[in-house]
């Protein structure tokens, strides 16, 4: 463990709140993301995870609280603004444009050009070579860099998106449920790249509802529930069982267990007691 | 910023270029047209009538525009409030007639492009005591449906006379350019032409919505069959396109047409188009409205309920063009 | 900390014989192009008419076919780009007429040089495109609804304004006005190549296709067009200006409609206000036959041009072949269906390779 927590966090949320009409999506959410650390955000469907990342990534604004990048308060008007500050997001389902070639996806929105107007054109050769080299660095070998990205497996697509974010100088990488739609093996591949991104010095925000995946790579864990932070703990203050229990609903699960015991379901052992919550 | 500068300088350049050529046109245009008035006359002092004219006109057709102008001229003269409406779809046209009945108009002038669809509403108008006059289409049906009178041209007769004219000219090979496949009146014209022509006449269907397509299809036909001597079109704008097709195909074919408009008159004058057969749409519209006025105020009706009043066919050639040119310029022929 | 974390992935050993990221074989790349299916269809239609219709074989006939194709093809370029960008424009057919009417009436009513009318019409056409795009993006209604509304509104405006301004339903001839000859040279002249006269629209068409292809494949904007059509949300998330791209595409359609309108005006001197209805479907069909996906994100300008060529060839070929004209529409439909099926078959074969 380094003294990362003493330095200024790259991304810091303090008391963030967000309403959609009179529906409260987030309330008093605080979070700090440091360089070379993986911060996992867990929560059930509808807990406010996606609202949170949309705010961090600049897609949505926020109503209360403060959002700081490098200690400086910010309000992003668009994802472009967030990108310019080094905050890149890899979405679960909309990470790429399926029908476009891999290299075009890699450089989408940040295309390289050559020549002068009116003959300014895409540097196709350079972009193809770079995309190929960068993917190789991440251990992805494609038979054809021109193939539509939709023909890659789900895990490979996530990896291309991650490689893209790293290449374009992301300092903070937001991963939205990168393993949700993947099988065991594919998930493993993606988790390796999450670790690789951390080794490269990036701050990673890893959104998931799978505590096992989170615990494999996470340094810090936050559990959201009904738009509020229910648990905020460093890795060394937590066990996988505790995290699983929080994720699964904690007290509610205990009640459910009692109800099930009354109908004599066999084979239910004692659930571990939650402890060490922040 | 650099980009913006370029854009604004481009805009400035364009504006400057525009100013440079903005000077007024030395020839043609509105200024040359001014000073030519429409038909004008005094107004009748009879009580105001409301007459509905309901046609199957497709929007934007020059022919129907002339019909309407004739009707408007009669309405202005006769102190009639004209309610003009049109829909090419028979069911919709019937609804418009019903609409006029509901408004309790003093008379209805109606085209019978699809007579069966009109039978019901015509009966209702009769029941409501509203006189109904037929015009333009429905020569075979107006009597049976109990209409008061009819103004129009027999399309088959027009086709026949057209054929006889071609026979006189010694033509052996002609095409009849139809811009709307399945249109009863247009098919009747081509049919009348085919049945009475001594030579061989073929129908060519073109897409009337797209002038370049009309031109190239006629051109293709001329290239396919170099023996064609006459291109017969069923509407004035198509005759002008055919003139270009003939020129582009390097063919020696001549162009003749049904119906007229302003530009066609000029083309006849210049010899680009040989002749036109006119059913006098202005006259149809005028008579239809005027006849209702006469019936309402004096009980007159034409043809004794038995015979139609034929408004055509009238031949327009280089010989008589001068007497028509002036009116065509006003947009009433 | 991080006991459970696996070490960073070591680069996998390079596969033998696969040191460089290869490209697929030439053949596979060729068959993977969006326009290949339509090219096969075009060749099939061409061969068919070449065999059965003697007049079709002359160079002059090819010129006629190309002219018919070009008047469809010019607008199809814009429509195809828009379709790749994931939107539809049902108003393109009547927008052509709107543009021509505007130029003719403006020049005539104010008795100006016709070039003034041309520039006014261009501004209006681009404005209509911008309006379409803006309304679509602001309201987020389906493009079909917005475009149907624009289509109906323009159709009505064409008639009403023409009637209001000129008193008739067709514009007055502007053939005797200043600037007409130079405008005609630009929009509706013919060039003689060898013994054959070729309409200038053919060259404009090819030029527009070339420019559109270059923009699509070799510029940032082209990348953005594919992206906004393929997955607008992804595109927005990586910083592509989705709104500007879409509005720009609608304006491109406006530009091509303007050009086609100017051709109509200067080829025929006057314009009928009711023209153009139904043409929008032909443009869309040509783009789809050319391999543009109706759902967006895929297609090519060259393919759209081939689609327009198939339309032009079929329409004229039936006449050259001297088939019974009563069946004209049927033959057009059947040929298009056959071309489309062939297209589909080729694409499926390519996908299976």
Top-confidence range, A27-41, A133-147, C183-197, C252-266: C252-266
The pLDDT value recorded for residue A93 is 63
pLDDT at C72: 93
Note whether C61 contacts B: Cβ–Cβ < 8 A.
Answer: yes
Domain ranges, ordered by start, for chain C: 34-46+55-346
Residue A20's pLDDT is 86
pLDDT tens, chain C, 353 aa long: 334 434 334 344 334 434 444 555 666 667 777 788 888 889 988 999 999 988 888 888 899 999 999 999 999 999 999 999 999 899 999 999 999 999 999 999 898 999 999 999 999 999 999 999 999 988 888 888 888 999 999 999 998 898 888 877 888 888 888 999 999 999 999 898 888 889 999 999 999 999 999 999 999 999 999 999 988 888 887 788 999 999 999 999 999 999 999 999 998 888 888 888 888 988 998 998 888 888 888 899 999 999 999 988 988 888 888 887 777 778 778 877 887 787 777 767 666 55
> Which domain range does residue A17 map to?
4-99+148-262
- Rounded-to-integer distance, Cα B223 and Cα B213, Å: 15
**Chain Cα centroid distance, residue A203:** 10
pLDDT digits 0-9 by tens, B66-77: 899 999 999 999
pLDDT for C8 equals 39
CA distance B298 to chain C (A): 33
- Tell me the average pLDDT across B117-129: 91
Neighbours of A164 (CB within 10 A): 25
| B216, B272, B331, best to mutate vs chain C, most C CBs in 10 Å | B216
Q: Are the C-beta atoms of C322 and C308 separated by less than 8 Å?
A: no
Strand partners, B133: B109
Chain C residue with Cα closest to B205? C325
Cβ(C305)–Cβ(C77) below 8 Å: yes
pLDDT digit string, tens, across residues A56-82 = 988 888 999 999 999 899 998 888 888
Number of domains comprising chain A: 1
All residues of chain A having their beta carbon less than 8 Å from the beta carbon of residue C14 are 141
Enumerate the residues of chain C whose CB falls inside 8 A of the CB of residue B181: 326, 328-329
Structure tokens at A71: 């200690």
The complex's ipTM?
0.78
Residue A273: pLDDT band with limits 50, 70, 90: low
Choose from B64, B87, B203, B223 for mutation: most chain C CBs within 10 A: B223
Do the domains at B49-153+281-312 and B155-278 have one common CATH topology?
Answer: yes
Beta strand pairing call for A72-73 and B80-86: unpaired
Taking an 8 Å cut-off on Cβ atoms, the answer to whether C12 and A59 are in contact is: no
State residue C347 phi and psi, 5-degree precision. -65, -40
- Whether chain B has a CB inside 8 Å of the CB on C174: the answer is yes
How many other C-beta atoms are found inside a 10 Å radius of the C-beta of residue B305? Answer: 13
CATH of domain C34-46+55-346: 1.10.3470
| Measured distance CA(A60)–CA(A83) in Å, rounded | 14
Residue with token string 């490269």: A200
- What pLDDT is stored for residue C19 in this prediction? 40
| Mean pLDDT of the residues in chain B | 85
Q: Which residue has the higher pLDDT, A73 or B114?
A: A73
Which one is the CATH code of B49-153+281-312: 3.40.30.10, 3.30.1860.10, 3.40.50.2300, 3.40.50.300? Answer: 3.40.50.2300
Task: Report yes or no: C219 at the A interface, CB cutoff 8 Å.
Answer: yes
- Residue count of chain B: 333
Task: Taking residues A163-175, report their average pLDDT.
Answer: 86
Bridge partner list, C192: C197
Residue of C nearest to A104 (CA): C223
* CA separation for the pair A273, C18 (Å, rounded): 54
Residues B179-237 pLDDT 10s: 887 777 888 899 999 999 999 999 998 888 889 999 999 999 999 999 999 999 998 88
**What's the pLDDT score for residue C10?**
39
Q: Which of B148, B139, B153 is nearest to B291 (CA)?
A: B148
What tokens does A272 get? 């571990």
Residue A177 dihedral angles phi and psi, to the nearest 5°: 45, 55
Structure tokens at C103: 């130029």
Q: Does residue A231 form part of some domain?
A: yes
Residue count (chain A): 278
Q: Are strands B132-135 and B230-233 parallel, antiparallel or unpaired?
A: unpaired
Which residues touch B39 (CB under 8 Å, ≥6 apart)? B73, B330, B332
Contact C265, C120 (CB under 8 A): no
A36 has a chain C CB within 8 A of its CB: no
B124 by Cβ neighbours in 10 Å (0-12 / 13-18 / 19+) ranks as middle
Higher-scoring residue by pLDDT: B190, A181? B190
Architecture of domain B155-278: 3-Layer(aba) Sandwich (3.40)
CA-to-CA separations, B328 to B23, B262, B289, B325, C159, in angstroms, rounded: 29, 5, 21, 5, 21
State the Cα–Cα distance between residues A89 and A80, nearest whole angstrom: 11
> Per-residue pLDDT tens for C151-209?
999 999 998 898 888 877 888 888 888 999 999 999 999 898 888 889 999 999 999 99
Q: What are the helix (H) ranges across chain C?
A: 26-32, 36-52, 59-84, 92-109, 114-139, 143-166, 180-187, 200-218, 220-230, 232-237, 242-268, 279-289, 301-321, 328-352
Q: What is the pLDDT of residue C116?
A: 94
Hey, are the CB atoms on C234 and A1 less than 8 Å from each other?
Answer: no
The reported pLDDT for the residue numbered C336 is: 74
B195-211 pLDDT, tens per residue? 999 999 999 988 888 89
Q: Crossing angle for the helix pair C301-321 and C59-84, nearest 10 degrees? A: 140
Work out the angle at residue B43's Cα, subtended by the Cα atoms of residues B37 and B46, and round it to the nearest 5 degrees: 160
Does C230 contact A94 at a Cβ distance shorter than 8 Å?
A: no
pLDDT digits (tens, 9 = 90+) for B2-43: 445 555 555 555 555 555 555 566 676 766 665 444 455 567
What are the φ and ψ backbone dihedral angles of B305, each rounded to 5 degrees? 75, 5
Residue B57, judged by CB atoms within 10 A of its CB (0-12, 13-18, 19+), counts as buried
Is the pLDDT score of A231 beyond 90?
Answer: no
Distance CA A202, CA A39 (A): 11
| Cis amide linkage into residue A176, ω under 30° from 0 | no
SS3 C174: coil
Inter-chain touch C227–A108, beta carbons under 8 Å = yes
How distant is the Cα of C58 from the closest Cα of chain B, in angstroms? Answer: 9
Residues with Cβ within 8 Å of residue A136, at least 6 apart in sequence: C11, C21
Pairing outcome for strands B107-110 and B49-55? parallel
Give the closest residue to C190 by CA, choosing from B249, B87, B78.
B249
Contact A99 C297 (CB under 8 A): yes
- B310: helix, strand or coil: strand
Of chain B residues 37-76, which have a CB less than 8 A from chain C?
Answer: 58-62, 64-65
Two structure tokens written together for B182: 């399945």
Q: Sort C40 into a burial class: Cβ within 10 Å, 0-12 / 13-18 / 19+.
A: middle
Residues 6+ apart with CB under 8 A from B99: B85
Q: Which of A169, A176, A238 is closest to A41 using CA atoms? A: A176
Positive or negative torsion for Cα A82, A47, C232, C147: negative
* Domain spans of chain B, in order of start: 49-153+281-312, 155-278
**d(C-alpha A257, C-alpha C337), whole Å:** 63
**Interchain pair C297, A138: CB under 8 A:** no
- pLDDT tens digits, one per residue of B235-282: 888 999 999 999 988 899 999 999 888 888 889 999 999 999 988 889
Residue in chain A nearest C11 by alpha carbon: A139
Strand (E) or helix (H) holding A42: strand A38-43
Residue in B27, B31, B60 closest to C178 by CB: B27
Is the CB of C8 inside 8 Å of chain A's CB atoms?
A: yes
- Predicted local distance difference test score (pLDDT) of residue C353: 52
Which chain C residues are within 8 Å of B27, Cβ to Cβ?
176-178
Q: Which two tokens stand for residue A150?
A: 């939709």
C262 phi-psi bin (left φ>0, alpha ψ -120 to 50, beta other): alpha
Instruction: Round to whole Å and give the CA distance between C186 and C262.
Output: 9
Please indicate if any CB of chain C lies within 8 Å of the CB of A179.
no
CB contact under 8 A, A141 and C236: no
Q: Looking at chain C from residue 48 to 87, which residues have their Cβ under 8 Å from any Cβ of chain A?
A: none
Q: Looking at beta carbons, which residues of chain C come within 8 Å of A91?
A: 233-234, 237
The label of the residue with tokens 């239809």 reads B288
**CB–CB contact C329 B181 (8 Å):** yes
* pLDDT tens digits for range A99-117: 889 999 899 888 888 888 7
**Model pLDDT, residue C84:** 94
Average confidence (pLDDT) over A149-177: 84
């Amino acid at each position: 463990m380094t003294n990362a927590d003493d330095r200024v966090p790259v991304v810091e949320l303090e008391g963030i709140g967000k309403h959609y009409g009179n529906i409260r999506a987030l309330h008093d959410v605080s979070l700090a993301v440091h360089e070379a650390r993986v911060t996992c955000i867990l929560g059930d469907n509808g807990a406010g995870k996606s609202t949170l990342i949309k705010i961090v990534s600049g897609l949505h604004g926020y109503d209360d609280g403060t959002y700081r990048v490098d200690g400086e308060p910010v309000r992003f008007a668009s994802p472009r603004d967030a990108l310019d500050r080094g905050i890149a997001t890899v979405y679960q389902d909309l990470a790429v444009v399926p029908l476009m070639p891999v290299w075009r996806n890699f450089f989408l929105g940040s295309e390289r050009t050559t020549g002068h107007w009116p003959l300014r054109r895409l540097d196709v050769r350079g972009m193809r070579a770079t995309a190929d080299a960068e993917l190789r660095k991440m251990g992805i070998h494609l038979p054809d860099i021109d193939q539509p990205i939709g023909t890659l497996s789900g895990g490979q697509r996530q990896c291309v998106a991650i490689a893209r974010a790293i290449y374009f100088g992301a300092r903070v990488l937001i991963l939205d449920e990168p393993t949700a739609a993947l099988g065991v093996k594919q998930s493993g591949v993606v988790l390796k790249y999450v670790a690789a991104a951390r080794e490269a010095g990036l701050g990673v925000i890893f959104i998931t509802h799978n505590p096992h995946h989170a615990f494999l790579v996470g340094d810090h864990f936050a559990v959201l529930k009904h738009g509020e932070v229910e648990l905020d703990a460093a890795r060394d203050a937590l066990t996988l069982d505790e995290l699983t229990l929080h994720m699964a609903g904690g007290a509610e699960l205990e009640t459910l267990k009692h109800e099930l015991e009354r109908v004599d379901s066999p084979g239910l052992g004692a659930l571990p007691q939650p402890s060490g919550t922040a | 910023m650099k980009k913006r500068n370029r854009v604004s300088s481009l805009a400035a350049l364009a504006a400057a270029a525009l100013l440079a050529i903005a000077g007024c046109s030395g020839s043609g245009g509105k200024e040359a047209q001014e000073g030519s008035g429409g038909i004008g006359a005094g107004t009748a002092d009879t009580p105001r009538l409301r007459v509905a004219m309901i046609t199957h006109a497709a929007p934007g057709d020059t022919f129907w525009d002339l019909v309407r102008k004739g009707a408007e001229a009669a309405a202005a003269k006769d102190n009639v409030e004209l309610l003009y409406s049109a829909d090419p779809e028979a069911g919709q046209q019937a609804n418009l007639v019903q609409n006029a009945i509901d408004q309790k108009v003093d008379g209805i002038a109606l085209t019978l492009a699809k007579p069966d669809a009109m039978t019901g509403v015509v009966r209702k108008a009769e029941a409501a005591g509203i006189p109904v006059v037929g015009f333009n289409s429905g020569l075979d049906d107006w009597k049976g449906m109990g209409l008061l009178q009819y103004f129009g041209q027999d399309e088959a007769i027009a086709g026949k006379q057209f054929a006889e004219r071609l026979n006189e000219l010694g033509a052996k090979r002609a095409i009849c350019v139809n811009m709307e496949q399945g249109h009863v009146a247009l098919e009747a014209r081509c049919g009348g032409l085919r049945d009475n022509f001594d030579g061989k006449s073929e129908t060519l269907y073109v897409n009337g919505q797209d002038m370049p397509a009309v031109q190239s299809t006629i051109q293709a036909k001329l290239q396919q069959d170099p023996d064609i001597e006459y291109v017969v079109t069923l509407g004035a704008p198509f005759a002008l396109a055919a003139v270009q097709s003939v020129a582009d195909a390097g063919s020696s074919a001549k162009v003749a047409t049904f119906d007229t408009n302003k530009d066609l008159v000029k083309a006849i004058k210049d010899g680009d188009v040989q002749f036109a057969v006119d059913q006098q749409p202005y006259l149809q519209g005028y008579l239809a409205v005027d006849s209702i006025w006469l019936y309402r105020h004096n009980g007159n009706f034409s043809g004794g309920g038995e015979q139609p009043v034929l408004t055509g066919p009238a031949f327009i050639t280089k010989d008589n063009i001068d007497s028509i040119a002036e009116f065509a310029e006003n947009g009433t022929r | 900390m991080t006991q459970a974390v696996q070490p960073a992935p070591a680069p996998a050993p390079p596969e033998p014989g696969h040191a460089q990221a290869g490209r697929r074989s030439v053949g596979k790349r060729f068959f993977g192009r969006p326009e290949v299916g339509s090219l096969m269809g075009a060749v099939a239609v061409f061969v068919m008419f070449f065999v059965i219709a003697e007049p079709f074989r002359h160079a002059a006939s090819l010129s006629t076919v190309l002219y018919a194709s070009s008047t469809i093809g010019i607008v199809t370029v814009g429509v195809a780009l828009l379709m790749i960008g994931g939107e539809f424009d049902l108003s393109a057919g009547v927008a052509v007429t709107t543009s021509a009417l505007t130029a003719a009436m403006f020049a005539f009513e104010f008795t100006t040089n016709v070039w003034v009318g041309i520039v006014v019409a261009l501004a209006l056409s681009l404005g209509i495109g911008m309006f379409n795009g803006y309304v679509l993006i602001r309201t987020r209604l389906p493009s079909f609804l917005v475009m149907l509304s624009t289509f109906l509104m323009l159709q009505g405006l064409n008639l009403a304004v023409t009637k209001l301004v000129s008193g008739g339903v067709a514009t007055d001839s502007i053939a005797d006005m200043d600037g007409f000859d130079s405008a005609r040279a630009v929009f509706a002249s013919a060039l003689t190549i060898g013994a054959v006269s070729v309409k200038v629209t053919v060259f404009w068409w090819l030029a527009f296709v070339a420019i559109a292809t270059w923009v699509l494949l070799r510029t940032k904007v082209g990348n953005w067009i594919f992206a906004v059509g393929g997955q607008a949300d992804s595109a927005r998330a990586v910083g592509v200006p989705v709104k500007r791209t879409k509005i720009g595409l609608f304006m491109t359609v406006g530009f091509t409609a303007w050009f086609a309108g100017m051709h109509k005006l200067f080829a025929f001197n006057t314009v009928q206000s009711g023209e153009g209805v139904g043409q929008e479907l032909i443009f869309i069909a040509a783009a789809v036959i050319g391999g543009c996906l109706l759902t967006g994100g895929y297609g090519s300008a060259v393919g759209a041009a081939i689609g327009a060529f198939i339309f032009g060839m079929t329409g004229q070929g039936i006449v050259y072949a001297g088939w019974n004209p009563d069946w004209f529409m049927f033959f057009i439909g059947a040929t298009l269906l056959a071309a489309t099926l062939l297209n589909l078959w080729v694409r499926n074969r390519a996908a299976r390779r």
